[in-house]
Amino acid sequence: MEQDGITQRELTEFMSSDPNTVASLLERMENAGLVQRQAHEKDRRARRLRLRTAGRRKYEDCRAVAMAMQEEILSALPEEAREQFLEQLDTVAEACRLAAERSPKRRGG
């Protein structure tokens, strides 16, 4: 999350999720002292999100675990094949994101 924070809408898009799910998650994170939600300085309808100190620590802890897991999992592949695999995985993830955007349920249909 950027120093200035992001909006709930931006987070929803990054997560390819629905607004209600993200709002519920953020409420729990706010109650746990991990994030701070404030009124957006230019858009009264928007909320600006910022990580609190505890949230930054939790992020760093989780990131370290994720990186260790990724290293362990990727060790199943020859070292020279790992980068190509990650690029292909990124391509598949982007295709999933685009498909979710085109989903009739997401468009309200």
* Residue pLDDT, tens place only, 19-51: 899 999 999 999 999 999 887 777 777 788 999
- So what's the pLDDT on residue 48? 86
For residue 107, give its domain range.
77-109
**70 close to 25: Cβ distance less than 8 angstroms:** no
- Calpha distance 4→17 (Å, rounded): 22
52 and 2 fall within a common domain? yes
69 and 100 fall within a common domain? no
- So what's the pLDDT on residue 3? 53
Place of tokens 């990131």: 63
Give the tens place of pLDDT for each residue, 36-91: 988 777 777 778 899 999 999 999 999 999 999 999 999 999 999 999 999 999 99
57 and 83 fall within a common domain? no
The number of folded domains in the chain is 2
72 and 82 fall within a common domain? no
60 and 106 fall within a common domain? no
For 86, the token pair is: 């990650």
Helix, strand or coil for residue 26? helix
- So what's the pLDDT on residue 108? 56
In sequence order, what are the residues at sequence separation of 6 or more whose Cβ sits closer than 8 angstroms to the Cβ of residue 99?
A: none
User: What's 25's domain CATH number?
Assistant: 1.10.10.10
Is residue 15 very low, low, confident or very high in pLDDT (cuts 50, 70, 90)?
A: confident
